[in-house]
Amino acid sequence: MNAYDSLRLHTGRHMSTLPGHGYREGTPLFPTRVQFVEYLRDYAERFALKVECNCVVSDVKRTGDRWIASVNGDGVEGSAIVMSTGIMSKPITPEIPGRDTFRGEIIHSVEYRRPESFAGHRVLVVGVGNSGGEIASELGNAGVETTILVRRGANVVPRAIAGVPIQYLSASLKRLPIGARRRFAKAVRRLAELRHGPPVIPYPPWTAADSIPVIGFHLVEALRGGKVSLKLGMIERLERDDVVFTDGSRGEFDWIVLATGFAPALDVLGDLVRRDERGFALRSGNVTSVDQPNLYFVGQRYDTTGAIANIKADAKEVGRRLAEWTIRTGSV
């Protein structure tokens, strides 16, 4: 599993399951990385799923009414194909001028595991999404000299309100008009200010109803306690030992952790599908390709409902559509 060791889901266990199976008894409301991996293993065992690891799909083609995927160099054929590459399979690594001259190390957040290897070094975390916030706060709390680079600001919300995960509240409000959801987001912002004081990260032009917020106050507490430093702006270029920022200032860093997100991992489809402005395939009902018959997608959404909850909903819908198509056509 490509996630740091200290990962704890910020989505509650009731909305972090796959169809037909829950967590082990005694699992906390917010499962740890180990508990989530155990859940996936339990799931595969319960349903006798044939899971093959270390398989590389290099190409997907359509021949007549059949699909052929090249898996580790061998052709695998079927009547339908489900793209379940999710939203964390293709890290976005921006081009940074001067990268070749920089003597420090640069990694994407997906490569980060634990803070021990960064001890005694100066680390710049680029990006203030949930991964960036959690990595920066963990490094800072471990005594690593850490700075987080924030482009414009961030909305920070509590992981739970009165014991109820913020995800559950967001999901219940999803059907309301956007104006109502924005008013709720602003009310949560005021509540956070009352409990945690004035923001230490500027608010962006949008609300938590418009884009995924930072969930939990671990980063805020690390910033307020002086364990992590905040830098606003962007990287203009890298030099031998320095990072030069867009405001003309510079800083010396040994490591740069790029918490710069991910892109949809759909390259193997080539020009078989059209894509939207974010790179996601055009779909109907979230799961069905508008360009190719019998091409389905699972986990191509990321919103306040939570990635795992969306995967569950997509999987159930794809299963339903495949079952209907199989019955209708008699295909396998």
Helix (H, G, I), strand (E, B), or coil: what is residue 146?
A: strand
**Nearest by Cα to 203 from 185, 216, 224:** 185
DSSP letter for each residue of 186-198: HHHHHHHHHHH-S
CA distances from 244 to 103, 136, 234, 305 (A): 14, 20, 9, 37
pLDDT one-digit tens code per residue, 108-163: 999 999 999 999 999 999 999 999 999 999 999 999 999 999 999 999 999 999 89
Q: By the 8 A CB rule, do 22 and 15 touch?
A: no
Give residue 4's pLDDT.
81
Query: What are the extents of the domains in the chain?
Result: 52-88+265-329, 99-258
Contact criterion met (CB below 8 Å) for 200 and 222? no
**Model pTM?**
0.90
Q: Determine the pLDDT at residue 331.
A: 65
Domains 52-88+265-329 and 99-258 in one fold: yes
Give the model confidence (pLDDT) of 176-222 as tens digits: 999 999 999 999 999 999 988 899 999 999 999 888 899 999 999 99
The architecture of the domain spanning 52-88+265-329 is: 3-Layer(bba) Sandwich (3.50)
20 Cβ contact partners less than 8 Å away, ≥ 6 residues apart: 47
Enter the CATH code of domain 99-258.
3.50.50.60
Residue 172: count other Cβ atoms within 10 Å of its Cβ: 10
Is the pLDDT assigned to residue 1 strictly greater than 80?
no
